[in-house]
Amino acid sequence: MQLELFTQYRPRLTAGCDEVGRGPLAGPVVAASVILDPQRPLAGLRDSKQLTPEQREQLATAIRQHALAFAVVFVDAETIDRINILQASLQAMRESLLALCLRPELALIDGNRLPHGLPFPALAIVKGDASESAIAAASILAKVARDHWMRDWDTREPQYGFAKHMGYPTPFHLRALEEHGHGLIHRKSFAPVRRCLARAGLR
């Protein structure tokens, strides 16, 4: 079947895939893939950024309970620095799709790029988390998983306030970088962290 026909036909094993964490200065980028059960639709699925933390937690629990398959993959800051954030995001998405316990008949991927080497048909959909429930479900799982990870790490390096901003470049986070220098999970290739390293005479 031609890919363009998938706009009208959805195979039962259609996976949605999305990532979160491209913009932060610290922590991993996280991708999730989800195959929803067409017989058990979930209400309230939408872009994770449009949900409250409580709504995301509730939906994440429902997704894990009722989805036919799901997988979440983390790519760490060291890898992001080595291969760049775009390639790290694509790697995380590819690995999450391949980690599903069921092989998708079709993968719907948020954005305008596809990971290389997928062994099944795939479509990139710009703003897909707003139009495709499986992608929305993936965005929720990825966001909840990453937020949990950042809150856990906050107990190790509380001076940066990761539990509040999840690594994004808020004024508080930038001031903490100025005061304390970079931490163990900062992305050294990102400009604010790179400037911090330069001032410290490091690379």
CB 134, CB 15: distance < 8 Å? yes
Residues 22 and 113 in one domain: yes
Q: Which domain does 188 fall in, by range?
A: 158-199
Residues 39 and 84 in one domain: yes
Residues 51 and 148 in one domain: yes
Q: Hey, is 16 helix, strand or coil?
A: strand
Residues 102 and 59 in one domain: yes
CB 106, CB 32: distance < 8 Å? no
Residues 170 and 123 in one domain: no
Q: Is pTM, for the whole model, over 0.85?
A: yes
Residues 38 and 92 in one domain: yes
Q: What is the pLDDT of residue 2?
A: 43
Segment holding 109, helix H or strand E: strand 106-110
**Of 137, 153, 169, at which residue does a domain stop?**
153
Domains held by the chain: number:
2
Residues 38 and 116 in one domain: yes
Residues 42 and 82 in one domain: yes
Residues 141 and 176 in one domain: no
Task: Give the residue-averaged pLDDT of 38-43.
Answer: 90
In whole angstroms, give the CA distance from residue 123 to residue 48: 20
User: How does residue 1 score in pLDDT terms, banded at 50, 70 and 90?
Assistant: very low
Q: What is the pLDDT of residue 8?
A: 59
Q: What is the pLDDT of residue 202?
A: 56
**Domain of 12: which CATH number?**
3.30.420.10
Residues 129 and 105 in one domain: yes
The yes-or-no verdict on residue 72 having pLDDT over 60 is: yes
Residues 112 and 167 in one domain: no
**29, β-bridge pairs:** 75
The yes-or-no verdict on residue 198 having pLDDT over 90 is: no
Task: Give the residue-averaged pLDDT of 19-24.
Answer: 97
Residues 104 and 120 in one domain: yes
pLDDT digits (tens, 9 = 90+) for 86-139: 999 999 999 999 999 999 999 999 999 999 999 999 999 999 999 999 999 999
